[in-house]
Structure 1
Amino acid sequence: MSATLVRPAPERVAVRAREIVRIIEADPEFARLRTACAKYDEDWQSFTGYALVDGFDVETDTVPLFPEALRAMAIKSAVYEMTDGDEQAAEIPVSVPVDEMIHALAAQFTVLSRVQERTGIKFVHATDREQIGGWDHGDYTHQVYRAAWGPLSERFWIGKEETMKRKAVVVAKYEPLGIFQGGRKFAPGFATRG
């Protein structure tokens, strides 16, 4: 991240982010977008995202997690608008589980594209600009979120230090099974031997 990165005041972004969420929720395909994210369950392979949420269950956690992702995307979109399309500034840090749901949202490419066309709102998500695990309590994202919607869900918004602890525990549990580097590498024969 650039040392000269400048973002608009959290209170200003919060006003626009709330408006963006209202606009998206009013879109005729919003229900389909929300439902499609929840049905993405059979394709989700999250070794170090959802696994950080204590007792995560795709069937029960997607409903409350979806609004968190939508709000984070609204903040990104608001920052993007207010910085004349500065993608670096717009790629705010978010909690790892919330980022996983953002990926599910972004995977609904066709519907999301139509929503963007109808609303004129640009969704911003760039993996090469992300600060994976960089979100923390009290940071810029948290300030905007709190100003826009009040307290966040502590179940899904896991701070930086706790994220590092949980990730280390999860990775250590996977290694004896032959899953290495948080799911980026598997032991030979993992998928072919019983």
Structure 2
Amino acid sequence: MALPNPVEVGVRAAEILGQIEGTEEYGRLERSSKAYDDCWATFTGYPLISQWNLQRDVADLFTEGLRVLALKTAVFELSDGDEHAAELEISAPVDEMVHAILAQYTLCQTMTGKLGIRFVHMTDQERFAYEHGNYTDQCYAAAGWGEQNRRYWLDKTEMLRRLDILGRKYEGLGIERMGRGHEIDFEADAEERELATVS
């Protein structure tokens, strides 16, 4: 797979981000994405952040998520619409914020339609193999945004280490397969509470 030159991607991504921030929809997009905390939180995205607190971290995560969408858009344009190339390797917590932004579907459609760009994100193209210094980092640096916030940009090795820790803690709470199942019987729990109240 031939990837566009990182410098070209970075320059175009910075332009795209500036255009997005200049739209009348931007303020609402930011507010809505940050307010999505009651609706979207996986067991394997945000919780990988050390001592994570969404209220404290949401502004920085929004910045990183929007930058990623600008980078993906730039790669998509410069690769003649190659969806696979545009699905950049990124850190799982940042990817979760990308989901929160894209959940503002109507706003995203309106804004990208006006700008003549396309946000690119498909689960079947995702690859969680992000490594510091990779193509994504090169494009990010070329955009003039400096180095990523390493609180959120975890490489694959660190991500797997933290997933192992989380998995063991979840299992101790009865949550199985990283949040993909549990044996909690809510009806039985309610009955036990009623009996305890009566006695």
If the TM-score is normalised by the length of the shorter chain, which range does it land in? over 0.9
Q: Show the 5 A alignment for 1:79-158.
A: 79-131=75-127, 133-148=128-143, 149-158=145-154
What residue is the counterpart of 1:51 in the other structure? 47
**Take 2:40 and 2:121, find their aligned partners in 1: how far apart are those partners?**
18
Q: Once the two structures are superposed, what CA deviation does each residue of 1:32-76 show, in whole Å capped at 9, x if it has no partner? A: 001001100111232011110011111111111101001111110
Q: Which secondary structure state, in structure 1, belongs to the residue aligned with residue 152 of structure 2?
A: coil
Number of residues of Structure 1 aligned to a counterpart in Structure 2: 188
Instruction: Please tell me the root mean square deviation across aligned C-alpha atoms, in Å.
Output: 1.0
Residue 21, structure 1, aligned to residue 17, structure 2: yes
What percent of counterpart residues are identical? 43
CA contact (8 A) 2:41 2:96 kept: no
Where does structure 1 lack aligned partners over 5 or more consecutive residues? none
CA contact (8 A) 2:170 2:176 kept: yes
**Take 1:162 and 1:193, find their aligned partners in 2: how far apart are those partners?**
39
Residue 36, structure 1, aligned to residue 32, structure 2: yes
**Take 1:157 and 1:142, find their aligned partners in 2: how far apart are those partners?**
10
Task: Please tell me whether Structure 1 or Structure 2 has the larger radius of gyration of its CA atoms.
Answer: 2
**Take 2:39 and 2:5, find their aligned partners in 1: how far apart are those partners?**
38
Where does structure 2 lack aligned partners over 5 or more consecutive residues? 190-199
**Take 1:28 and 1:61, find their aligned partners in 2: how far apart are those partners?**
25
What residue is the counterpart of 2:56 in the other structure? 60
Shift of 1:186: 1.6
What residue is the counterpart of 2:176 in the other structure? 180
**Take 1:34 and 1:174, find their aligned partners in 2: how far apart are those partners?**
31
What TM-score do the two structures reach when normalised by structure 2? 0.91
> Which amino acid letter does the alignment assign opposite residue 141 of structure 2?
R
CA contact (8 A) 2:17 2:67 kept: yes
CA contact (8 A) 2:84 2:125 kept: yes
- CA shift in 2, pair 1:186/1:24, >3 Å: same
> Which amino acid letter does the alignment assign opposite residue 44 of structure 1?
W
- CA shift in 2, pair 1:192/1:136, >3 Å: farther
